[in-house]
Structure 1
Amino acid sequence: MSADFAARLRRREPVVGYWCALDAPVATERIARLGYDYVCLDGQHGYLGYSGILHALMAIGSAAGAVGIVRVEANDITPIGRALDAGAAGVIVPLIETPADAAKAVASVRYPPLGRRSFAANRSGLRPTEANEMNVVIAMIETPSALSEVDAICATPGLDGVYVGPSDLSLAVGGAYPMDPAVSVEFDAAVTRIREAARKAGIAAGIHTPNGETAARRLAEGYTFASIASDLNHLEQAARGHLKDARAETY
């Protein structure tokens, strides 16, 4: 499955994923069975420690559907290597601001001679050459510096894709708060710029979205992959909706 996912992403074929922030392997397993191409575990802002990431990746694997990827906590070889050793098919690396940052992320994912990842027993059982081919590395574009350097970042050798974090990107273009409508024009221009920089470099462009309708729109615009977020948000939305329905006749 991870080989197919990597190949599809590198061919820039549309793929759809789901975002998990909760340490709830049984729920993650259910989601992985639904038909998503990938499930991303949020190791940066989510509520999963390393054991949570490991158990969630095992749950995704047991579902025999989606592949599991991880947004790691930082552009550091240790959390990147541990996520891949736990069985992740790839990583999304936050706060990439320069081509040097992107090259560092790539080197942390690839075994020598392509990078500096160290070998250890891992869940995937992949040999280094296989892992180099099957593990993807994706850089987040979410800061003013990243936006100004996006063309050079996308041209980084070995980088498989870039990923838009809309909340931080809206702040990066001058928003007073995440998704501030006052900067909607600037935000849309940044989203287009990132997508086109990836297209010109021949790599995948991904984006975080709140729902399937938005994901479909972004894919139609030319984004390669879109994540639908997230288990925590959707749990809250469903619970709120049921509570509203239950009280509709009494309030």
Structure 2
Amino acid sequence: MTNFAARLRAREQLVGYWVVLDAPPSTERIARVGYDYVVLDGQHGLLSTRGILDGLMAIDAAGGATVGLVRVEANNATPIGRALDAGAAGVIVPLVDSGEDAAYAVRAAKYPPSGIRSYGPTRAGLRIGPVPAESDAATVVLAMIETASGLANVEAICATPGLDGIYVGPSDLCLAIGGKFPGDPDVADEFEAAIRHIAEVAAAAGVAAGIHNPDGASAKARLAQGYTYATVSSDIDHLQGVAAEHLATVKG
């Protein structure tokens, strides 16, 4: 855990995967592939609190260096604390619009005196800590940049003390800059300018910069562009895509 946090804070290049299905055996298999991290999506994914716990246990059961992160459902102390108590190596916090929002996320994820996290490490106490300072050092807090306000305030967000990095949600960001749908070609230039700007601001602030990607080629390109960690697609998208490929092969 500590190694992952240190690597992310050092802006090393990391590659992750996204999980939306409540299917621990498949999550365990994904964690065995060799990704640096696997994100369990507690916001838009099909995962309950128990599903997040089971997913984190499945990632650990894989036995490698892969760690489990959780995108929590909201910038709220309850889901943030619950994810960390369950053993997440960090949280991705959605809809961060300002430096004040980012500061709240950090406080929610950290124990006193620097934060407001309630002490109840539950499963995390077996693996991260249980000394509060050790837990704070070993877990990361990442703020999503995905709204018009978040983009406008990205400098203040990246300058937030205790924030380890930012994470771009490209679908919502595209809508935020005027796209009619994610990937709208009519705003492609504005979108790419925003993507470059976010990476540059994060680099200047010395924090990690991450982004979601539809495939490995896109993730590789974003890392070359200056992003320091990149997530590849999701389990549900790959399940459908591979199934469709095999069906097309059979039918010629």
User: Which of the five TM-score ranges fits, normalised by the shorter chain?
Assistant: over 0.9
2:161 matched residue in structure 1:
157
In structure 1, the gaps of 5 or more residues are: none
CA deviation after TM superposition for structure 1 residue 123, in Å: 1.5
Offset at residue 54 of structure 1 (A): 0.2
Distance between the aligned counterparts of 2:219 and 2:63, measured in 1? 23
Which of 170, 177, 192 aligns to 1:173? It is 177
| SS of corresponding position for 2:209 | strand
1:3 maps to 2
Q: 1:196 — aligned with what? A: 200
Is residue 82 of structure 2 the alignment partner of residue 88 of structure 1? no
2 CA distance for matches of 1:128 and 1:54? 20
Deviation (angstroms), 1:64: 2.0
Are 2:105 and 1:112 equivalent residues in the alignment? no
SS at match of 1:245: helix
Structure-to-structure mapping, 1:30-179, within 5 angstroms:
30-65=29-64, 66-125=66-125, 126=129, 127-179=131-183
Deviation at 1:229, TM superposition (A): 1.3
Q: For the residues of structure 1 that align with 2:122 and 2:68, how far apart are their CA atoms?
A: 15
Normalization by structure 2: what TM-score? Answer: 0.97
In the TM superposition, structure 1's runs of 4+ consecutive aligned residues that sit over 3 Å from their partners are none
Map 1:221-240 onto structure 2 (within 5 A): 221-240=225-244
- Supply the AA of the counterpart residue of 2:123: R
CA distance in 2, matches of 1:122, 1:155: 31
Query: Could you list the runs of 5+ residues in structure 2 that have no partner in the other structure?
Result: none
Deviations 1:33-55 (A, max 9, x none): 11100000000000000000000
How far off is 1:217 after superposition?
0.7
Structure 2: how far apart are the matches of 1:114 and 1:78? 17
Q: Percent identity at matched positions?
A: 61
Alpha-carbon separation, structure 2, partners of 1:146 and 1:7: 26
Equivalence for 1:244 = 248
**Which residue identity does 1:27 align to in structure 2?**
S
Q: What does residue 21 of structure 1 align with?
A: 20
* C-alpha RMSD of matched pairs (Å): 0.6
Q: Indicate if the aligned counterparts of 2:86 and 2:121 stay in contact, CA closer than 8 A.
A: no
Structure 2 residue aligned with 1:219 = 223
Q: Distance in 2 between matches of 1:64 and 1:131?
A: 21
Q: Deviations over 1:2-55 (max 9, x none)?
A: 111000000000000000000000000000011100000000000000000000
TM-score, length basis structure 1: 0.97
Give the 3-state SS of the residue equivalent to 1:205 in structure 2. strand
Please give the per-residue CA displacement for 1:173-226, whole angstroms capped at 9, x wherever unaligned: 110111101100000000011101111110000000011111111111110100
Alpha-carbon displacement from aligned partner over 1:124-179 (angstroms, at most 9, x marks no partner):
22110101101100000000001000001100000000000010011111101111
The answer to whether the 8 Å contact 2:39/2:68 transfers is yes
User: Secondary structure, in 3 states, of the residue corresponding to 2:74?
Assistant: coil
Shift in Å at residue 62 of structure 1? Answer: 1.0
Shift, 1:246, TM fit: 1.1
Distance in 1 of aligned mates of 2:226 and 2:146:
19
